[in-house]
């Protein structure tokens, strides 16, 4: 397993029938191409996030955020699943995912900013600061994606997803998982742990993309690699919002 991110795993680059790399007729995946496409997806997400923010944020408060938030969340989930199972569609589905996910991010950011003014800019700076810090750590060799490292991060990521799933299911029955969503020391500690795991997933994502470039993966995998980075960045940003909200609610 190359990454804890379910969108980015080693078998993605392989033809499971023959065990050989599947190359497209339009060339091979490159690192610069993946970086450029990641930047493009970020611009798309920022554009729709700005639009959603402008629609729901008013001087008197937040109005009509639910359609943008839930529409973006559900639409993003559907497009993510389509992209994972139809990787060759990534040149179309990855930009669509970024556009739809931007609506979710804009709405939820406006809600958090209404409750805790200034929190969004802090979360944005922390997210991109973490991205570049992890990239530097990976490129300089300070952090190496060894097999044990990968398995540890993958196991921790799976555990977090199970906790969130259990919390969601319990919420349907009016039951709240105690402490981890609260602003106490345990809740803050849990959020810090999740942020660290999300950041470590970036290292594994870089390793996954570099592996695809080295093996000459098909050109459309640049879009798929950019999509995978977007998935992790969205997760990291939302977790920073949650952590900062918990910290500010203690003041």
In the predicted model, is pLDDT for residue 234 greater than 90?
A: yes
pLDDT score of 22 more than 70 = no
53-65 pLDDT, tens digit each? 999 988 778 999 9
Q: What is the mean pLDDT of residues 83-105?
A: 96
Determine the average pLDDT of the residues in 84-112: 96
**Domains of the chain, residue spans:** 31-249
- Reported confidence tier of residue 181, pLDDT bands at 50, 70, 90: confident
| Residues in CB range of 203: below 8 A, 6 or more apart | 134, 137, 138, 143, 145, 149, 153
Which tens digit of pLDDT belongs to each residue from 183-212?
Answer: 788 889 999 999 999 999 999 999 989 999
* pTM > 0.85: yes
Model confidence at 18: pLDDT above 90:
no
pLDDT at 76: 95
Pseudo-torsion of CA 240, 82, 208, 222, nearest 10°?
Answer: -100
């Amino acid at each position: 397993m190359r990454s804890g991110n379910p969108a980015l795993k080693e078998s993605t680059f392989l033809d499971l029938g023959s065990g050989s790399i599947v190359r497209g007729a339009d060339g091979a995946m490159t690192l610069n191409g993946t970086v450029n496409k990641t930047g493009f997806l970020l611009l798309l997400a920022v554009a729709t996030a700005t639009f959603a923010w402008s629609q729901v944020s008013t001087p008197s408060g937040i109005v009509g955020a639910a359609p943008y938030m839930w529409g973006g969340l559900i639409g993003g989930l559907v497009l993510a699943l389509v992209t994972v199972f139809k990787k060759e569609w990534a040149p179309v589905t990855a930009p669509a995912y970024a556009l739809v996910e931007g609506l979710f991010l804009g709405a939820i950011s406006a809600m958090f900013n209404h409750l805790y003014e200034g929190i969004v800019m802090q979360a944005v700076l922390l997210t991109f600061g973490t991205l570049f810090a992890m990239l530097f750590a990976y490129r300089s060799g300070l952090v190496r994606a060894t097999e044990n490292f990968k398995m540890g991060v993958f196991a921790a990521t799976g555990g977090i997803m199970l906790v969130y799933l259990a919390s969601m299911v319990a919420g349907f029955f009016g039951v709240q998982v105690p402490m981890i969503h609260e602003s106490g020391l345990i809740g803050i500690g849990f959020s810090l742990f999740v942020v660290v795991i999300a950041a470590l997933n970036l290292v594994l994502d870089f390793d996954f993309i570099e592996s695809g470039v080295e093996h000459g993966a098909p050109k459309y995998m640049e879009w798929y690699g950019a999509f995978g980075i977007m998935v992790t960045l969205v997760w990291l940003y939302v977790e920073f919002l949650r952590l900062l909200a918990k910290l500010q609610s203690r003041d």
